[in-house]
Amino acid sequence: MSATDAPPSSFDFTAPLGPPRPVKSHPAPTRIAFCASDKPEAELARDRLVARYGSVPEAEAEVIVALGGDGFMLETLHANMERRTPVFGMNRGSVGFLMNDYDEAGLLERLAAAGRAVSHPLQMDARDIAGTLHTGLSINEVSLLRQTRQSAKLRISVDGMVRLEELTCDGCMVATPAGSTAYNLSAHGPIIPLGARMLALTPISAFRPRRWRGALLPHRAKVAFEILEADKRPVSAVADTLEVRNVVRVDVRERRDVSLTMLFDEGRSFEERVLAEQFTV
């Protein structure tokens, strides 16, 4: 069943993009799909919740409850990208930055009162040394990484204008606001509020120019990476689960026409988590 064939739903999270907020006026969903990572604790939680609340196939669901960690949350969002079904994560993994606390009781009430966070993925178009074009979507970031002991050399253009003639580095990435607290933050990139409509261009262990720390770009910016000395200094490009080896050029842009909705417990919005992360010491 496609998204257009699905029964009409009163549990509507397809409103235009805005700041996350509690959705108190909606009734609790009646069609819930439960999915779990392959961890035993996640599978056990799924079985218990299905026994308590029932379950429908993901294609028929008004909301999907994902049980696992942040990686599984991203997998679930990817799997339902075309249907745009909102996903409510409950932590049965490790970090759980994108997840809500696990609690079997009161789930319907939590879903009815949940706030939403809408993000848009990046599209990566990567051409390899053989001339083949590979396209993929990424929720967090598109990253370029050196493949060997030698550093990568990249030329970076933004909207068709060369902004950095040569960056010698371990790699570089373009991160979405939703992904700015993940790999981007580990590489000392900026944290971006979800509604900021910006992208982070962040180097990974830059050697030359040593003091370049990256840039904040408008969300409409189109970023192009040209790999210099690609034969001698091979580079791979990664968009979530898609990795392309030996690339010679990578183009990155935001797909504003694709929306991904994550649901969060009332009072624990994604925006609040991002804000709090900036004061973590």
**CA atoms within 13 A of residue 237's CA, in its CB half-sphere:** 29
Task: Report yes or no: 271 and 117 within 8 Å, Cβ to Cβ.
Answer: yes
Q: How far apart are CA 224 and CA 173, in angstroms?
A: 11
Which CATH number among 3.20.20.140, 1.10.3720.10, 3.40.50.300, 3.40.50.10330 corresponds to the domain 32-120+259-277? Answer: 3.40.50.10330
Q: Which residues contact 13 (CB under 8 A, 6 or more apart)?
A: 23, 63, 86, 116, 261, 263
pLDDT at 221: 98
pLDDT at 270: 83
CATH 2.60.200.30, applies to 122-254: yes
**CA atoms within 13 A of residue 230's CA, in its CB half-sphere:** 18
| Segments in the chain below pLDDT 50 | 1-25
pLDDT at 12: 46
Q: How far apart are CA 188 and CA 165, in angstroms?
A: 22
pTM, whole model, 2 decimals? Answer: 0.84
Q: Is 83 exposed, middle or buried (0-12, 13-18, 19+ CB in 10 A)?
A: middle
Q: How far apart are CA 30 and CA 9, in angstroms?
A: 9
Catalytic position from the list 47, 70, 125, 128: 70
pLDDT at 3: 39
pLDDT at 97: 87
pLDDT at 274: 84
Residue from 40, 38, 34 nearest 54 by CA: 34
Q: How far apart are CA 221 and CA 252, in angstroms?
A: 9
Query: In angstroms, what CA-CA distances link 18 with 15, 31, 168?
Result: 8, 25, 38
Q: How far apart are CA 130 and CA 117, in angstroms?
A: 40
pLDDT at 194: 84
pLDDT at 28: 79
* 70 in active site: yes
What does the domain layout of the chain look like in residue ranges? 32-120+259-277, 122-254
Phi-psi region of 96 (alpha: psi -120 to 50; beta: other; left: phi over 0): left
Q: What is the DSSP letter of 58?
A: G
113 is written with which tokens? Answer: 């009162």
